[in-house]
Amino acid sequence: MASEMQRYDTNEDDEEMGMDVKEEDEDDEEKNAAMHAIAGFDGVHGSSRSNRFQHHQQYQEQPTPGGSRRCRPLEEKERTKLRERQRRAITAKILAGLRRHGNYNLRVRADINDVIAALAREAGWVVLPDGTTFPSSSQPQGTGTAGGTPTTMVTSSSSHIPTQHTPPGSLKGVPSGFQNTDDQSACQMKSVFVPTSSPYDSSSTARSQTSAMVADGLDTQNDPFLVGSVDSIDKQVVDMHTKLQERDFAGTPYIPVYVMLPLGVINMKSELVDADGLVKQLRVLKSINVDGVMVDCWWGIVEANAPQDYNWNGYKRLFQVVREHKLKIKVVMSFHECGGNIGDDVCIPLPHWVSEIGRSNPDIYFTDTAGRRNPECLSWGIDKERVLRGRTAVEVYFDYMRSFRVEFDEFFEDGIISMVEVGLGPCGELRYPSNPVKHGWRYPGVGEFQCYDQYLLKNLRKAAEARGHSFWARGPDNAGSYNSRPQETGFFCDGGDYDGYYGRFFLNWYSQVLIDHADRVLSLAKLAFDGTCIAAKLSGIHWWYKTASHAAELTAGFYNPSNRDGYVVIAAMLKKHGVALNFKCAEMRMLEEAVDFCEALGDPEGLAWQVLNAAWDVSLPVCSENALLCHDRGGYNCLLEKAKPLNDPDGKHIFAFTYLRLSPLLMDGQNYMEFEQFVKRMHGEAVLEFQS
């Protein structure tokens, strides 16, 4: 009996060992096959791999002199099983890390095929359901390419792969361990959230990337991510697009679509520019059921000459034209200057009388550590200082908003003005002007703290004294300059001063000034626009998001290092006033802002989901707008995916979308047709497919 049990155990071990080895061989075979498809190995490599596998099989099945199958020693079988357990444990940890830190939406029982497919998609390749893998710019073998060999080309379109809703727990960045070139190269494989399957693959958005580059005047011939002509890319993308099924948005929630009017629709004399041309464009927008338009009401135009001397004439004429076309209006109270930022095509400074005060008292502006002033907007240090001809900055903002509400009362009563967005900082966004191009900042620099005017320094001294450490009444002296990288500074580097006692005190004070400013202005906006939807815009500072310090966010006023959620407190403040959140970064994709995106360790997708979930967790309405020009199907699909997340269990979606921006290019032929389809899908209407 004992001998039979021993034989049974031995046979069971042999069978288990055989299964383990077989599984290892199968995994090796899958890996080799995937690498063969990705790297394009030739027949010689394939044959050598096959020979090695055959040799391995022969070794396994080699008969013993007695005619029976050779059995490995018991110790070797135990080592094999131990290696298999270790391999499975390591695989489980890798999958868990990819899900948690890399935002890979891998299924529960993911295997090596799922991981390879996700990595291939992230690298810009197309992975069909049957496993066929090829570059997004080429055709699969046997579909029209010469000799059945696909043309290999690497593009940056992998950054556009649409995302799905992920739980809040997977959104925070992790400390950076990248110290060398190899590590920086490796980070590209985990810097974007790639779903295991998508209604349409990255190829449908490659043309969006190309169109954006051409529109911005970038050199596509010398771009290392674009090999070949733009025409060939467009042709290949169109061919591939017809093979991939798009998501049907019929029956999805209705999301109103607004279109931004040109920045200079009202000139410095408060006159409507080109009324006839605007009328024609509004007719076209109305014909495709656009819900309304967005217009900036510039402080520098309306109150340009003297305090409380408001000139709304141009805006009255504009609003009348919009009302005649039965469109709604989203108004922006723009308390910042226009010009000098990306996308600005006009120059609208702050009011002339404010500039006169600034010449004698430059501390009304934000100031960096070198004493350079930024006249883009007023420092929050004078929110309660009567330095503006007897008024505080907050009183100036309130008087302006109250004048607008009284002047356009009929438009509010009729519901023509459906939303008011209140400007809270540079570009109308709630943030410090930490990355001004005029002062030499270039992406992806960490920026600089903007708290060195006398009013904010006084506020800092009070906070330090209240804490009992008056010597903390200073800004960091080791935070680098505008274009520094985190690891080059003593403050932002891993384990740097940002996480010490002083660093925590300073960053908490710095971010609280931002929140207090928004709290004061929005409380008065609620009084001025009672009964009207109010919104505040939050910028997406996504570079260095995958480092421990989140340096670029810290200088912008978002206290959001890897061990702290800095957007929850902002969402709570907005919720207190019943203010909607307008998040501008929601649709950004990898490599759209800079070629060296991986080097910047950024994650716009992770940032977007963190901000959106912080808002949705407190039931805060969220609206959005595109940050980059978009005129093609792929770009619109990305916007739709963000607006209406696929299979979200709670049915979350944004409640309004604003398109950037009205122009003759938008009304041109194919661009117009694509935009019309986009509006219908935002409205949840059925759309008949047409050939691009």
Whether residue 78 lies in the annotated active site: no
Q: How far is CA 302 from CA 103, 215, 299, in A?
A: 46, 32, 5
Rounded distance between C-alpha atoms, residue 418 and residue 330, angstroms:
6
d(CA 617, CA 252): 21
| AA identity, residue 227 | V
Sign of torsion over alpha carbons 450, 453, 456, 458: positive
Q: Which entry of 376, 429, 593, 674 is annotated as an active-site residue?
A: 429
Helices marked H in 242-365? 275-287, 299-302, 313-324, 352-360
For strand 133-135 and strand 125-127, is the pairing parallel, antiparallel, or unpaired?
A: antiparallel
**What gap in Å lies between CA 602 and CA 389, rounded to an integer?**
44
Is residue 298 within 8 A of residue 338, CB to CB? The reply is yes
What is the C-alpha to C-alpha distance for residues 322 and 311, in angstroms, rounded to an integer?
Answer: 19
Beta carbons within 8 Å of 149's beta carbon, 6+ residues apart:
141
Residue with the two structure tokens 């390879």: 116
Q: Is 341 exposed, middle or buried (0-12, 13-18, 19+ CB in 10 A)?
A: middle
Give backbone dihedrals phi and psi of 470, rounded to 5 degrees, phi first. -60, -25
Q: State how far the Cα of 210 lies from the Cα of 307, in Å rounded to an integer.
A: 47
Nearest C-alpha neighbor of 582 from the set 258, 349, 194: 258
Considering 122, 421, 592, 625, which one is annotated as catalytic? 625
Cβ-contact 406, 400 below 8 angstroms: no
Q: Which of 182, 225, 105 lies closest to 117 in space, CA to CA?
A: 105
- What is the rounded distance in angstroms from the CA atom of residue 408 to the CA atom of residue 71? 91
The first and second tokens of residue 41, run together, are 């190995």
**Cα distance between residue 357 and residue 359, in whole Å:** 5
3-state secondary structure of 658: strand
Phi, psi of 167 (to 5 degrees): -70, 155
61 catalytic, yes or no? no
Tokens 């003759």 correspond to: 664
How far is Cα 469 from Cα 490, in angstroms, rounded to an integer?
A: 21
Burial profile 212-221: b = 16 or more Cβ within 10 angstroms, e = fewer: bbeeeeeebe
Alpha-carbon dihedral angle through residues 506, 510, 515, 516, given to the nearest 10 degrees = 90
Are 482 and 439 within 8 A, CB to CB?
Answer: yes
Nearest to 210 by CA among 185, 189, 195, 228: 228
Place of tokens 């960091």: 476
Nearest to 97 by CA among 197, 198, 189: 189
Q: Give the residue from 412, 640, 426 showing the smallest Cα distance to 534.
A: 412
Cis bond upstream, residue 162 (ω within 30): no
Q: In sequence order, what are the residues at sequence separation of 6 or more whose Cβ sits closer than 8 angstroms to the Cβ of residue 491?
A: 476, 478, 479, 480, 497, 498, 503, 549
Instruction: Kindly list the catalytic residues.
Output: 429, 625
